[in-house]
Structure 1
Amino acid sequence: MNFDEWWQKSLNVTIVKKGKLASVRSRSLLFCLCISTSQGQESESMANALEFFQRGREFDVKGQHQEALVEYTQAIELDPNYVEAYFYRGNALALEGQPQKGIEDLQKAAAILESRGQLEWAAAMRQQEEIIRQGIQDGEF
Structure 2
Amino acid sequence: MTLNISYPKPNCLCARYLARFLQGETLKHREADSATGSYRLASHVHYLQEKHGWHIERREVTEATRDPTGRAATFMEYWLAASLIEWAGIQGQEYVEKVLELEAIRIAERLAATSPTADDNPDGTDKEKPSTIPALSNGPDNGSQ
| TM-score past 0.5 threshold | no
Larger RCO: 1 or 2 (CA < 8 Å, sep 6+): 2
**Larger helix fraction of residues:** 1
TM-score band, normalised by the shorter chain? under 0.3
State the TM-score, normalized to the length of structure 1: 0.26
